Structure 1
Amino acid sequence: MSIFVLLMGFPGVGKLTIAKELGSLISAKIVDNHWFNNPILRLLDDDGTAPLPNGVWEYTGRVRQTVLDAIATYSLPSANFIFTHAGVEGDERSARTYGQFVEAARQSNAVFVPVRLLCAEEELARRISSPARRERFKSINVDTSRSRSQNALVLDVPHQHALSLDVTFTSPSESAAAIRDHVVSAHNAALKATESSPPR
């Protein structure tokens, strides 16, 4: 059974950095959310601090769906994937995006493992101000980051394989190792459940 890991967290938490570490541990391909966003964001006069136009995320959602459809159609049954998503609790668009990943995993008969990456406000503000983020069309607005930390929560959808991990004081490699251990347990549990299920 293949594995689909979804790393969820606010901008700056280190989703892609952790994904790269995790990818080498579980032999997974990384599909970062900016793969979907950047083809659209590159067309805009975006400085990383001003609000984006209303409706722009509907276009990135279409790109995401196309990529997920291709994965479900053409990837090998044993292929593992790591996705990233800046999901916010209570946000309809975040929930719809989460649903896209869940459905792609179902279509691929993959074990789906959602992971919430949490980080303290001050550390998150420090990370988001990195100039390297702007080179990848990522937000660098510290005020927005602080407001988000104070007023919102990372998307928290009940799932049997869900994991919440505070990465404030852990290195990317340490975080990836903890996620790897959780993924292995979830995969083994899914295999055991499959083997014990009566044939149809």
Structure 2
Amino acid sequence: MGKLIHINGAPGVGKLTIARQMAIRLNARVLDNHAIYNVAFALTEFRSPGFYDAVRASRAAAFQQVLRLPDNETVIFTDAYFDDSKWGWESWGTIEHLADQRRWPFFSVALVCEAAEHRRRIVSAERAERGKLQDASYVDRTVTRRLIERTGDLSKRLDITHLSADTAASFLADWVEATTSGPHRNVAAADSRLSSIVTASPVLSTILGRWDAIALPDCWLSGSAIAQTAWNAAFGLSPEYGLADIDLVYFDDADLSEEGEVKQATRIRTLFPDVPLWIDAKNEARVHLWYEAKFGYPIPPYQSSEHAISTFPTTAGAVAIRPGGAGLSIFAPFGLSDLLSCTVRPNKAQITQAIYEAKVARWRSCWPALTIIDWHNL
């Protein structure tokens, strides 16, 4: 089976050099971000609408070629995607979708570097020869920005401040090879298992079967209903046991009104009169407007539905599905291991201990065989 390896890091840290060294070791292809962006840089104004359209077109053409590759190929991507960027989250979603289409394991690498060393690297002569960004002040402007990254067994954050490119590449190649030859080679099997569970659920399969009628931007079926359906399958319970509601999340930053969200949720419920559960539809683009009033502390605006899902309270609950070209499209930023092993683990990206403990209290009463990880054990 092939592999998709995504290396994310700020400009100038050394992504491409490391990717090329890894490619030699892994017999892989490299598709770096400049190969995607250069047409847009050459023919459009930077950051204009035309620039982003040109990047989307180049990326789509490149990804079509990736889909035509033999199944045993490995492709390494390099990018610079930040957590506070709507464009970054849009682009990240295309990588997730590509991995899902190919049914390849998705290895996520985040490269970080201390500011002083980063400044030295970004002004290197090699970058000048390639026409790359050489502004040392850029480091200071981005030092507090967080990279988009997955967590879980197929993800790795590596501080390369004191590592040569060769050493970093060898470390990452060893990690990829060890993980691929170990128990996580069964990533596709986990996806297949979840797909079977969803297909066996009358509620979830009904909603997915009418997906085109939902017609909401960046929409996913997500949240606890997926995890609870999987737990029911594991414990021999009926698919609907313990389910309180069904959550649909979407992202529409063109309409941040509460009225618009309520209107969409009402419309969605009329599509499923035969579903015996409450169906909620939440516009993740407006969550920051009401979050503080409900939970007592503010959050920054989400940049996409995937961004929001990545902050859900538990790793098992941070899973989303929708129909895809190759069957079921799955977004699981923490992987599916906790979900399929009936493990409840806090995702501390946003929630408090009180929120986590309140959520798991009901789950423990309904599914006492769950393995629940204490908040303090992480």
What TM-score do you get using the length of structure 1 for normalisation? 0.86
Q: Which secondary structure state, in structure 1, belongs to the residue aligned with residue 82 of structure 2?
A: coil
Match of 1:31 in 2: 31
**2:94 & 2:131 partners in 1: Cα distance?**
23
Q: Which secondary structure state, in structure 2, belongs to the residue aligned with residue 42 of structure 1?
A: helix
1:65 aligns with 2:60: yes
- How far the C-alpha of 1:160 sits from its partner, in A, is 4.0
1:143 aligns with 2:99: no
CA contact (8 A) 1:9 1:86 kept: yes
Q: For residue 179 of structure 1, what is the amino acid of its counterpart?
A: L
1:121 aligns with 2:115: yes
Greater displacement, 63-72 / 129-138: 129-138
CA contact (8 A) 2:105 2:187 kept: no
CA contact (8 A) 1:118 1:165 kept: yes
CA contact (8 A) 2:81 2:148 kept: yes
CA contact (8 A) 2:4 2:74 kept: yes
Match of 2:105 in 1: 111
**1:82 & 1:169 partners in 2: Cα distance?**
23
CA contact (8 A) 1:87 1:155 kept: yes
Q: Which of 178, 187, 198 is matched with 1:185 structurally?
A: 178
Map 1:1-200 to 2 at 5 A: 1-43=1-43, 52-55=46-49, 56-72=51-67, 74-149=68-143, 151-188=144-181, 189-192=183-186
CA contact (8 A) 1:88 1:152 kept: yes
Q: Which secondary structure state, in structure 2, belongs to the residue aligned with residue 5 of structure 1?
A: strand
Q: Which secondary structure state, in structure 2, belongs to the residue aligned with residue 138 of structure 1?
A: coil
CA contact (8 A) 1:31 1:82 kept: yes
Q: Which secondary structure state, in structure 2, belongs to the residue aligned with residue 104 of structure 1?
A: helix
Report % sequence identity: 24
Greater displacement, 10-19 / 175-184: 175-184
Greater displacement, 120-129 / 87-96: 87-96
CA contact (8 A) 1:5 1:113 kept: yes
- How far the C-alpha of 1:158 sits from its partner, in A, is 3.5
Q: Which secondary structure state, in structure 2, belongs to the residue aligned with residue 165 of structure 1?
A: strand
What TM-score do you get using the length of structure 2 for normalisation? 0.47
Greater displacement, 125-134 / 168-177: 125-134
**1:194 & 1:153 partners in 2: Cα distance?**
29
Q: Which secondary structure state, in structure 1, belongs to the residue aligned with residue 109 of structure 2?
A: strand
Greater displacement, 125-134 / 30-39: 125-134
CA contact (8 A) 2:4 2:99 kept: yes
Q: Which secondary structure state, in structure 2, belongs to the residue aligned with residue 163 of structure 1?
A: strand
Q: For residue 76 of structure 1, what is the amino acid of its counterpart?
A: P
Cα distance change on mapping 1:193 and 1:34 into 2, 3 Å: closer
Q: For residue 41 of structure 1, what is the amino acid of its counterpart?
A: F
**2:187 & 2:11 partners in 1: Cα distance?**
35
Q: Deviations over 1:55-105 (max 9, x none)?
A: 323421321122112211x10010110000111122111111111111111
CA contact (8 A) 1:2 1:110 kept: yes
Cα distance change on mapping 1:195 and 1:90 into 2, 3 Å: closer
- How far the C-alpha of 1:134 sits from its partner, in A, is 3.4
**2:57 & 2:4 partners in 1: Cα distance?**
20
Q: Which secondary structure state, in structure 1, belongs to the residue aligned with residue 154 of structure 2?
A: coil
**1:5 & 1:172 partners in 2: Cα distance?**
17
CA contact (8 A) 1:6 1:114 kept: yes
For these two proteins, the number of residue pairs brought into alignment is 191
CA contact (8 A) 1:8 1:15 kept: yes
CA contact (8 A) 1:114 1:159 kept: no
Runs of 4+ in 1 over 6 A off after TM superposition: 195-198
CA contact (8 A) 2:18 2:169 kept: yes
**1:108 & 1:28 partners in 2: Cα distance?**
15
Q: For residue 109 of structure 1, what is the amino acid of its counterpart?
A: R
**2:176 & 2:72 partners in 1: Cα distance?**
15
Q: Which secondary structure state, in structure 2, belongs to the residue aligned with residue 154 of structure 1?
A: coil
Cα distance change on mapping 1:194 and 1:67 into 2, 3 Å: closer
Whichever of the two has the greater Rg, that structure is 2
**1:37 & 1:75 partners in 2: Cα distance?**
22
CA contact (8 A) 2:108 2:149 kept: no
Q: Which secondary structure state, in structure 1, belongs to the residue aligned with residue 66 of structure 2?
A: helix
